[in-house]
Structure 1
Amino acid sequence: MAVLKVIEVLANSESSWEDATKKAVEHASKSVQNIRSVYINEQSAQVKEGKISEYRVNVKITFEVK
């Protein structure tokens, strides 16, 4: 039986929500091992002068505890 833990991570990107999600996983993997999945909990964007200037994600990252 595996023991899994979930952490919540906020990340942002100037290009896309997908890129923000990738950044969240890359950053979390620096201190957390055995990442199994990522769940996008929330997406938002900042708008400046009528254009999206920043994409933001709130993700839940699941990893196995050994």
Structure 2
Amino acid sequence: MAKKKTESVYRVTEIIGTSSVSWEDAAKTAVEMAGRSLRDLRVAEVSKLDMKVDDGKVVEYRARVSLSFKYEA
């Protein structure tokens, strides 16, 4: 029996999640929100972390996430 050859194509897009709590929460928010409109998410990689500062205090954590998803045939 011959094996079926599978080929796939994935797109990688960059998104930024924000949170007033933590970088982890910011990254999680980004992926979960993207998952509402993108199907078949595969890999999420945090590529950059930064913070928004106001009057010398951290007011927001930001996580830049590279997210891959599979194109449908």
- TM interval, shorter chain, is 0.7 to 0.9
Instruction: Give the distance between the partners of 1:10 and 1:46, measured in 2 at CA.
Output: 13
In structure 2, the residue corresponding to 1:21 is in which secondary structure?
Answer: helix
Q: Which residue of 2 aligns with 1:3?
A: 9
Q: Mark the runs of 5 or more structure 2 residues left unpaired by the alignment.
A: 1-6
Larger radius of gyration: 2
How many residues are paired up? 66
- The answer to whether the aligner puts 1:46 opposite 2:52 as a matched pair is yes
What displacement does 1:64 show? Answer: 0.9
Greater than 3 Å deviation, 4+ residue runs: 48-51
TM-score (norm 2): 0.80
TM-score (norm 1): 0.88
Instruction: Give the distance between the partners of 1:29 and 1:37, measured in 2 at CA.
Output: 12
What displacement does 1:46 show? Answer: 1.7
Q: Between the two proteins, what is the percent identity of the paired residues? A: 36
- The answer to whether the aligner puts 1:62 opposite 2:68 as a matched pair is yes
Q: Which residue of 1 aligns with 2:38?
A: 32
**RCO comparison, higher one (Cα < 8 Å, 6+):** 1
**1:12 aligned partner, one-letter code:** T
Which structure is higher in strand share? 1
What displacement does 1:56 show? Answer: 0.4
Q: Mark the runs of 5 or more structure 1 residues left unpaired by the alignment.
A: none
